[in-house]
Structure 1
Amino acid sequence: MAGRDLRALFSTNDRGLRAVEAFTNRQVQWELVAAALAEHLRQVTGPGFDVEDLECPRRNVMVFHGVGGIGKTTLSRKLEAALAGAGQRPAQWGEPAWSAERIYPVRIDLARSAGTSFEDVILTIRAVLAELGRPLPAFDIALRRYWEIQHPGESLEEYLRRGGLGARFGKAMPQQMQSALADIAQALLLPGTVGTAVGAVIGSLTGALRERRQTVRALAGCARLADLLEAEADLEALSFYPHLLAWELARLPANQRVMPVILLDTFEDVGDRTHRDLERLLQRLVWLMPNCFFVITGRSRLQWADPALHGQLDYTGPNAWPGLAAPAAVPAARAACPSHGHGRQILVGDFSPEDCDDHLARRLTRDGEPLISQAIRQVISDRSHGLPLYLDLSVMRFLEIRRTGRTPQPADFDHDFPALIARTLSDLTADERHVLRSVALLDAFDLDLATAAAGLTHQAPALRLIERPFVRENAFGLWPYHLHGLIRSTVRNADDQTDDRWTARDWQQAAQRTLTALGEQFRTRTGPSRTLLIGCLRQGLALARDFRLDLDWLADAAWAYVSDSVWEPLAPPARHDAEDGMVTAADALVELLATLARRQHEHRSLTASRLAAVARTQLLPADLHEMTLYYLAKAQRDLGDSAASRHGMQLVANGTGRLAPAARRGLAHLARLAGDFPTAHATAQTLGWQGRQHRVEGDICWPHGDMDRAAAAYATARDQAEQHNIAGERATSQTQRAFVLAFTDPETADDELHLADQLLTGLDLRATTLTTKIAAVIRDAGALSSLEPVRLLRTEISDAGLTAAEAALELALCFHHAVQDDHAKINAAICRLRTLTRGGDYTYYADIAHYMAALPLPEPSATRWLTSEGAVRSAWRGLVQARQEYLRTGG
């Protein structure tokens, strides 16, 4: 369903180009209107309906609201056309449940540019009803009186012609009004010359109504007609005349009865929260015509159901307007009938990507084929966030580029349009515009954050702003409000040509205020709120990076982030104008924390490379530089580069920073990896809780085959982590406990693995998760039906670049083959182990594999055990024999 797009047509000399106003399907909105209108028709034709009942709730209005440029006016026009007849209705919209002959649609544009007055609204509605071909005497006589008093000497017919209504609806209305006046004069037996004088007719008619004369019995049924005729004929009285129009419609013969559907568009231009004069008149119109149906389109929800407006408007509160107070109907839900229990205020949603592409493909064509290529359509659709206005502006940009003689390319449409800012800001107050620009710096916000970011001392502007349709709400979010994606991008990035546009300094100051406000929320959080920490970090890092701000509270937040070892994704979106490399401390901190989170999903060599790049910049303060060195050393250890890891750990351990205990633990690990257990054990005794002493002791005990002591140490480490509320450490210690118990007691190990899985829920610990899978292999050793899962696990570990996990998996396989007494396979596994450990770390794993299978060592071991080598051999062989016995006896 499309008309000629004249702007596009006059933007090119290409006569072969076909430019149309493509109307992308709004089927859901049509279904809501159709269902509501069908319900309204049933209500007004029911036996209990009384058009003169001024107290019953009104259900005769539906509101479509949404951000500027979303397509509300287009929807209003298409609804008018569709209601006028089947020939104007898209086939996919479906058949309505009523006869088109009964519906009289009329659309009235309330935009300031249209200059529509309340008089024009009343005259337009009456002009539409002229198609009935008969006078509506109660209304017509009152309107004629009003007109002659308020417009002396001005012909109504000439006024209608000048305003365009005469051409649109013909001359029938003035003729019908004159006919009504003549009929009443005749009924009252007035002289012909007097019959042309409205005042004389009105006076006689009012007297006749008061005396209930038989000659005016038809009009006497309108109980309030005499009162309206006696009232001063001013604008206030005119606003009550719709009651007479509704009464006349209600008394039409059944075979002539019609349903006017009045579409009031651009309702946001009616007024504001302070000046509601026109809104009051229009609300009175809707209330006094309960047998008509109104479809209102505008940027904001109607507030008529708000009791706080009592006194500003005549009819307010949820009892008066139940449909406006009920929860909004959700377009995507394709609700059936939004009747008594459903909301009648519907947010007009963005186009889907498919609708965007369809719209662009049909806007400009040549020989039936889309002129805009699919690649360009894709870029425009992605940038538009589904906003139709952006699509239209992009079409005009496409034609503008073609006029230069150049073929448009996809890169030409990675573009913001300043026109969107003007449309968005047009009906906002100065304070609201200030808040809007401030919150454009944020992914999400609440009232406090918006107010602080704007530097205001009162929340009222922010409170008004969040009611705008371009502010979306997620009631379950940490901060419930966020700007429409395209509006936010445009406000931040487009060339703002408005009178109160911000300078670069204004943006810088707003960013600093916003960062400070986020810091206040971070510092005043109650308890270890991980969600608030991550939210503050994500938004704060982006601000500090984009505006080159000092780190301030972000340093403390970074330490809080790493302390739990949870590793949620943190990297903010890339800057639109990102420079190569890291320039500020904020750049380096973003890269550091993003790398620490990404390391759970990429090869450790990439992690090491990125951390080394951060360290080389020397941009971070000393404590955060040590954090970089520590995690770089951990990545190097995972890659088997023990020399580099030991150097980094020693640098951090020599200092007095927060990670010195962790670095000493790292040195203990490195000693253990090298097979120097006495050094590892001695170092462990100095670690305490901060250095995770008990977990390190467990790591030392289990290679000696002392699984009971190892399990007890891991349990203590887990419990300590629970006491300190360190989720990552708790899950890691529990996983290690399950790992060692898998060698001794498969049934207990199964329970411990289940607990480990629970503790890992919501955490992003790749190495620890892989350990649970290795533990499952050990638990099932001797009874594995297939080694295919092991092969898949080996690939997964290799992709992660975790040498320790690769060696641990091969050790688990050695245990399985030893239990099965399969010497050929255990020898193959030992060969793989020796290949993995040829760098010097974990060489004792090959020794343990020999001990499991009761095989002699090919050469003396270089491992320095805490006990005798014989004791270690005996312990591991005993574990194999115990598992064999377990399998023979069925557990």
Structure 2
Amino acid sequence: MSEFDRIFDPEYTASDLFTDRVSEHAAFAGALRSQHGDVVCGDARLGARQRTNVLSYYGLGGIGKTSLSRRLERWALGELESRGDWGEPPAFDRVVRTLRVDFHGSRAVDAVSIVLALRGACAARGRRFPAFDVGLAAWWALARPGTALPEVRSVSGFDVRQQMVDTLGDVIADSGGQFGVGPLSVRTTLRIVDAVMHRRLRGRLLRECPPLARVVQEAQHDPSMYVAATLAGLLSWDLENLDAGRRPLVVAFADAFEYVQGNDRVQERLFQRIVHLTPSVLWVVTSRNRLDWDAPEVEGLLPASGPRVWPGLCFDARREPRQHLIGNLSQEDVGRFLETASGTDGNPELPDDVVARIRDGAHGLPLYLDLSLTMARSREEGPLDAASFGGPLPQLVTNVFAHLPDELRGLARAASLVPRFDAQLLAGATGSLVGDAERFCRQTLVTADAHPLFPYRLHDAVRAAVTSEPVSNPGAWSASDRTERAVLLLESLRQRSDQLLYEGAEAAQLDVLELAASLCHSHALSADWLATAITRLPGFELTAQRLPSPDPDTWLGQLSGMFEAWRDDRRTAGRVAYLEDFMRRPLRSDIRRRARLRLAYAHRTRGDHAQCLGLLTEALAEDSSDDETRYQVARTLHATGDYAALRAHLAAFPLGDTTGLRIRGDLAFDRGLLEEAIAGAALRAQYLRSIGQHRLAQENEVVCLWRRSLHGIARPEECDTALIAADRFGVRLLMRTCLAAKAICLAGDAPAVANLAQEADLIISSSAGYAGWREWTPRIIHALRCRDREEAERLYAAWSQTNRTPSSNYRLVDRLFIHAGFPGRYPSAQIDDESASAVDERWHAIIESLTT
């Protein structure tokens, strides 16, 4: 049986015919043999200057590069039933392992997903990768706190994730607990970081891997995607420390790389970092564009560049692996394909004049042949009209659309508006039955892949042709029709986003929001819900990578411009400088409002309440009806202890139900009315939970816990529960508050309080922070309960050297030292109409109960 005998098997297309050309296969076979030799003899190593592990196929869209890549993979794995002229795959002394990276429709390189796929491809029972697993665990817990490690399995079904967890437990000495497959918490990570930095590791290999400490240190400092890409080097280090006979032969296929080959090289450098750090992996890259990593002019833009590093990418390279320009099918191949297709497997008989028209119009493009046969199969009764065939590709695409059944035609055009879709999305945007949408997704026009949320797409050439089709075509959409459908698609995506929000599926929600951003970008739309949803997602750095490039002339482009503040590893100070510059540009009013709020919050994070308050006041002057802005002004005034200004603000700008309750609860706390203070935070948390704002709800719940501990009604178990939740979300301040609350519950128990203080100090040092009221309060309470005057004096001496704004909790610290007999630092404040002496009396009673 030849390849031609199978051309109309399910999912078999003209692109598959193209991939049977011998020269491309020969290049891959040669590259595979060369890579095998380098792996066996040890030349594929990190220390080598040259990299000869990249085979590139590039050329125009529609010529079957992805199909070639997939068929090469099947051949290498021995899964190609009919090998034609390719013959049998080479017999190596080890099994070939493969993985795929698909960039179709992408704007970002998900470096951690790629390195995890590499880890899965290399995995085997009894073959461990301790340096990689420790580095990955540290990065993951710091970058994605609260998120479980994804499931990773080898081709044989081996549970790689469990092996990684087992490895962590084995190599981290005195870890203080068992690792699990659930979320890697900050507390666990701190034990890992501490063990690596202080060399408390089991196993010679880990102790002798100097890069591990540097990677973990950098992840602690900034767990960026670039650090995730660098984890690939730890995997290679582990591979190099295996016996030569146990090193796997891995081939990674990366398709449609043109999607991330932007002018700024930000995403490309992530991918190149991985490729450069995995010399023992053969990378087969398909793209419309040639790789120029060998060019001296890209030095500084990419991690490794120049002809000495990438000799196989030079124009004059002759040895495999190297780069190959892919051409179209020959006229002879086109003729053979059409002759064999005629009258077989659902295709009508193709008259000679139809064959000639298709052959002349195709110019050897496999996509053109597939579409021509699709149109031929959709014809009504009667002979084929040769005049219907042979036009330019855009005309052929629109003719195919015109011949679709009525119930599928609108679905097809809606699908052309987005880079990816699923049946539910199309049905929601067109008012069609989901069943019809599912039938459309099975059309030969549609390509299916493994995207977890939106597994279908149309070829870019098809999308472009539909976008530019004349209105005179049957069923064609005008520009306003396309915009109207784009709006309906946006609404369908909004509903999906809301559903994922309540489910807490933030990673999946980002996929939805990226698609919505693409629609806004392509159709010059604005969507306030999208901007709100994006700004509610944690991890702005990851969000920024998934947005289109900034553009000062469009709404979405300006929103992307605002998120540039979270690109390029900017810290808070750099973020403030960028946002200040951004605010000086001509901006749309809603973008300016959002940027102003982000800048205000950045100032507040730095402790600059005056700058924060000034910006919030500007926002309030523009829209005094916005309850969130009113609340943020009130919060900032309360944090500064300016009660007179807060009273005036609340009188002029009353707050909504739960925001008002929270502020009244804060004021009640300042007056020592703890039951009312607890109720305000609890009701605010309950409301936030009901609208899916789980992280903000948790902040209020921890405030409630803190106040309950001061009221003497919190239990250590409550503190542990809240600590575990805060730990999984990775919110260090909340973790410290939970530890402080527990320390108050256990005041008087010296060993327990000492352990809690040690854990708090570790969290503080890990984030380059400093001790605050969360640490001062339980320690002075413990000293007073134990009647430890020496410790109280030591604490007061340190407290005297600090300079803190007199916020509510710092006033509590001051009251505690006054109770201990030390001079106070803050003057009394008039909170409401109640006298300061009455407030002092109430707090005196609270402190008495805590310290006796």
**TM-score when normalising by structure 1:** 0.47
Structure with greater contact order relative to length (CA < 8 Å, sep ≥ 6): 2
State which structure, 1 or 2, has the greater radius of gyration over its C-alpha atoms. Answer: 1
**TM-score when normalising by structure 2:** 0.49
